[in-house]
């Protein structure tokens, strides 16, 4: 109906042009939005305000002309001019109920679109250093990145999910030193232990398996420990592979997978870093100062120039990032989305500046960046700060084991990524309406329970009969559910466009609330029950909740959260 109303409006605009009310060259396309307040109708448009200036008339006068041109439509109960010139559309019950047909016909594809036109987009997320178990902050990045990928796929993009392993540099050397020290019997309590070494119990696990010559299989290779405590490179290779495997296991338990695992070390072994630096030098965007090589990032909007190669040798951390993103561009990704922790904020502009300085056609503002804020884990009134295994932080695996994958994913997705969040362990585990994931899953299970009850009463679901009697759905709760489902396709399109999966989580909570309210109306008044003696009305109501069930399932699938058919109380 939204598309139909927009079509009517654009026909009206064309008619205004033919009447010379507005000039033929006036370029405008009418759009309608779902109203937030039902007293303002189902849809609203501001087209009259847009056309007022070219028509040289007041917005309300233009709105009146448009309303006259629209005339009477069987799908519209009422047209209303509101405020300075908005036009509100009140759908007829027949038009509103058509969404039920749309949902059931499209099934799992309801809400999907072809906005992306199968264009390639690379989504990079998590990209944790292989120096320890994933923490809850990595988990937030995993959920946001994975949900963004799912939303983009649902809107027609060809998505490649990518994990970038920082398996080179000083942090990896510190990891190898930590494992070597543990293997030689040096503990964090000893004077020989360095402050920048890793202290979690997992380091001792790596050291033990290295000495026992264990084989580990990471995503792309197998490494067998030599057991030689003086072979630093062998220790480093084994430790990185071991922790890559650990992180892969964490992500698998979290229902997150990747299409590409990219190693930072490959940028050095294949010469990409050196080629990138040489290109920047050849393009005249660098200079030598105090024995260091600097990039003129101020030419591209940075607040100061940045060191690329340090005076003592070695490249700063953002140089391989430039090489890596140049590699993405060369692989054909015209669009790239990176999901990072907020601590990466300072590197975004300098990497973009370096990419501009390569002069290879990369547009400004590429790549797109989504930053997530930190997560505070609480148990009641007490903050949970450390894990026995990790030593200094709460691991993702700790959270999943305690509250489950569904609750962990939903809680991390449900808050805007740019906002700091508190993860309440007790709330996430609770089976109450205050727990949003339980509340939504319960709505899905409640509908499934209704169908089981219908079957137990010897009355099978007859969708055809239900579709023939949608005109019987006139309760406020029924109209509210139809309106909510009508909003879903636009919501998915906007969530994908704005890279905001949290709006889907909020929508599902609202849809579940509408469903539970509908159920409660039947508890308060037998005439409003879903399963009633009147077969036509019963099947119409069951058809409505079948559509609601489908939308809940579709939305939860985009969040990678299960839609259970049974729940407590069902």
- Residue 568 is predicted with a pLDDT of 56
Q: Which of 199, 230, 253 is the last residue of a domain?
A: 253
- Which string of DSSP letters, residue by residue, matches 346-400? HHHHHHHHHHHHTTSSPPTTPSEEEEE--EEEEETTEEE---TTTSSS-BHHHHH
Closest by CA to 255, choosing from 420, 142, 169, is: 142
Is the domain of 543 the same as that of 440?
Answer: yes
Query: pLDDT tens digits for 96-127?
Result: 999 999 999 999 999 999 999 999 999 999 99
Whether residue 217 lies inside any domain: the answer is yes
d(C-alpha 130, C-alpha 245), whole Å:
9
Question: What residue numbers bound the domain in which 222 lies?
Answer: 170-253
Is the domain of 554 the same as that of 440?
Answer: yes
d(C-alpha 32, C-alpha 202), whole Å:
56
Say which CATH number the domain at 503 has.
1.10.730.10
Whether residue 225 lies inside any domain: the answer is yes
Is the domain of 87 the same as that of 175?
Answer: no
Q: Which of 91, 115, 141 is the last residue of a domain?
A: 91
- Residue 496 is predicted with a pLDDT of 98
Is the domain of 447 the same as that of 552?
Answer: yes
Strand partners, 341: 372
| Low pLDDT (below 50) residues in the chain | 570
Whether residue 414 lies inside any domain: the answer is no
Q: Which of 228, 253, 278 is the last residue of a domain?
A: 253
Q: Is the peptide bond before 367 cis (omega within 30 degrees of 0)?
A: yes
Whether residue 312 lies inside any domain: the answer is no
Whether residue 80 lies inside any domain: the answer is yes
Is the domain of 553 the same as that of 461?
Answer: yes
Say which CATH number the domain at 34 has.
3.30.1360.70
pTM given for the model: 0.92
Q: Which long-range contacts (CB under 8 A, 24 or more apart) does 288-295 make?
A: 295/350, 295/353, 295/354, 295/357
Alpha carbons within 13 angstroms on the beta-carbon side of residue 480 total 17
d(C-alpha 22, C-alpha 74), whole Å:
28
d(C-alpha 323, C-alpha 321), whole Å:
5
Q: What is the DSSP letter of 314?
A: S
Whether residue 149 lies inside any domain: the answer is no
- Residue 303 is predicted with a pLDDT of 87
Terminal C-alpha separation, the chain:
35
**DSSP H helical segments within 71-191, as ranges?**
93-106, 136-154, 170-183
Closest by CA to 187, choosing from 177, 175, 199, is: 199
- Residue 74 is predicted with a pLDDT of 86
Structural domain total, the chain? 3
Query: pLDDT tens digits for 415-433?
Result: 999 999 999 999 999 999 9
């Amino acid at each position: 109906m939204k598309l139909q109303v927009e079509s009517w409006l654009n026909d009206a605009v064309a008619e205004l042009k033919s009447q010379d009310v507005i000039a033929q060259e006036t370029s405008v396309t009418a759009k309608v939005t779902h109203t937030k307040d039902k007293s303002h109708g189902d849809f609203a448009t501001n087209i009259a305000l847009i056309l007022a200036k070219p028509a040289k008339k007041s917005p309300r006068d233009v709105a009146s002309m448009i309303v006259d041109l629209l005339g009477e439509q069987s799908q519209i109960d009422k047209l209303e001019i509101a405020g300075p010139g908005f036009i509100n559309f009140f759908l007829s019950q027949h038009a509103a109920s058509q969404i039920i047909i749309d949902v059931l016909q499209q099934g799992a594809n309801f809400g999907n679109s072809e906005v992306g036109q199968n264009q390639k987009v690379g989504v990079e997320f998590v990209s944790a250093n292989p120096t320890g178990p994933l923490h809850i902050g990595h988990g937030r990045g995993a959920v946001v990145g994975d949900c963004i990928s799912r939303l983009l796929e649902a809107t027609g993009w060809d998505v490649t999910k990518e994990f970038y392993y920082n398996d080179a540099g000083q942090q990896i050397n510190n990891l190898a030193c930590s494992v070597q020290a543990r293997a030689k019997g040096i503990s964090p309590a000893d004077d020989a232990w360095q402050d920048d070494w890793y202290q979690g119990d997992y380091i001792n696990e790596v050291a033990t398996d290295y000495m026992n010559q264990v084989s580990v299989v990471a995503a792309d290779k197998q490494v067998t420990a030599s057991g030689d405590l003086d072979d630093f490179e062998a220790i480093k290779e084994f430790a990185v592979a071991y922790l890559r495997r650990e992180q892969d296991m964490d992500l698998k338990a979290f229902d997150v997978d990747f299409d590409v695992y990219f190693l930072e070390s490959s940028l050095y072994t294949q010469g990409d870093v050196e080629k990138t630096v040489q290109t920047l030098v050849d393009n005249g965007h660098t200079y030598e100062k105090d024995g260091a090589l600097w990039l003129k990032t101020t030419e591209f909007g940075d607040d100061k120039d940045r060191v690329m190669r340090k005076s003592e040798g070695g490249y700063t951390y953002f140089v391989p990032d430039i090489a890596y993103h140049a590699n993405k561009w060369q692989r054909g990704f015209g669009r790239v989305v990176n999901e990072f922790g907020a601590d990466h904020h300072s590197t975004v502009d300098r990497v973009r500046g370096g990419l501009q300085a390569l002069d290879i056609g990369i547009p400004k503002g590429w790549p797109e960046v989504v930053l997530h804020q930190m997560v505070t884990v609480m148990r009641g009134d007490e903050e949970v700060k450390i894990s026995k295994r990790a030593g200094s932080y709460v691991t993702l695996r700790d959270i999943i084991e305690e509250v489950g994958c569904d609750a962990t994913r939903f809680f991390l997705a449900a808050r805007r990524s740019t906002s700091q969040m508190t993860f309440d362990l007790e709330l996430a585990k609770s089976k109450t309406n205050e727990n949003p994931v339980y509340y939504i899953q319960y709505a899905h299970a409640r509908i499934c329970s209704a169908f089981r009850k219908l079957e137990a009463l010897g009355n099978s679901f007859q969708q055809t009969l239900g579709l023939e009697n949608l005109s019987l759905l006139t309760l406020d709760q029924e109209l509210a559910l139809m309106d909510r489902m009508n909003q879903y396709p636009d919501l998915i399109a906007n969530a994908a466009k704005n890279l905001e999966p949290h709006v889907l989580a909020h929508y599902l909570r609202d849809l579940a609330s509408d469903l539970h309210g509908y159920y409660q109306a039947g508890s308060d008044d037998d005439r409003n029950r879903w399963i009633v003696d009147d077969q036509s009305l019963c099947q119409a109501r069951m058809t409505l909740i079948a559509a609601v069930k489908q939308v809940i399932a579709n939305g939860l699938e985009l969040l990678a959260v299960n839609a259970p058919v049974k729940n407590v109380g069902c």
